[in-house]
Amino acid sequence: MILSDLNNKTVGMVLSGGGVRGMGHIGMLKALEERGIEASVISGSSVGALVGALYAGKSDLKDMLAFFKETPLFKYNFLTINKPGLVDTERYYPIFKEYIPFADFESLHKELYVIATNLQKGVEEVFSKGELIMPLLASAALPPVFSPVEMNKMLYADGGIMNNFPSEPLKGKADFIIGSNVSLVREVSKKEISSSLQLAARTTSLMVYAINRQKIRSCDIIFEPVELEHIGVFDKKAIEKAYTIGYDHASRVLDSHLAN
């Protein structure tokens, strides 16, 4: 199936985790919008879940960027000593509610699936019904920085721990799958693996990519802007840069497909 065949087709979208690199998702959405391509069902983990919720709520693309720019990653009065983690994730509830003013999944304009990790059971869980904000907070609660979120007497954390590219919920629900993966792997120099932290970051990214590689390749069209790997997961100063990289990459990929 090519892009010109999308009329009367159900389009699904998978949005990976990746922190600030997830602004590339918003750039991709801009490129799709300019070409009249819209998804009706979305599945996301971590930052992908947040972008997915904003998209499912029909937020303006500028408002999406504003949400990430104005939401503080580290705020003194958000620090916690009573919970595991450095920052109390649930303190972000009012901020999320302001930008995503929907009581539940059913109120959204598009179908949305959010992945979070049940830390106690050691499994991923898919949220698509009922209260919206708490599952979003849980899906983006990356340990050890952010505290787990308690729901139904269980502790939940970042969806990317168990499933960073959650294409499974879209099975049987979409005729055409668009994938946006911002957790990327490129060749690096020895200097880029010269400290324990760099080594840990490199091995983690390799494991995440290896686990999800087959699912990524199974998408009908995939966006993977490799330049995003130069951007740190928590580098808020790079929000606009990540957005631009995502937009430019998606525009090139889409124009290449539309030319065929």
Among all chains, which residue has been given the structure tokens 């840069």? Answer: 241
Q: How far apart are CA 251 and CA 223, in angstroms?
A: 10
Query: Of 43, 45, 139, 158, which is the active-site residue?
Result: 158
Tokens 């952010």 belong to which residue? 146
Let me know if 255 is a catalytic residue: no
Q: What share of the chain is helix, strand, coil (3-state, %, to 5)?
A: 50, 15, 35
φ/ψ region of 153 (left if φ > 0, alpha if ψ in -120 to 50, else beta) reads left
User: Residue 157 and residue 161: Cα distance in Å, rounded?
Assistant: 8
- Among this protein's residues, is 104 annotated catalytic? no
Amino acid identity of residue 234, one-letter, is: F
Q: At 220, is the secondary structure helix, strand, or coil?
A: coil
- Residue of 46, 147, 167, 180 marked catalytic: 46
Please give the positions annotated as active site: 46, 158
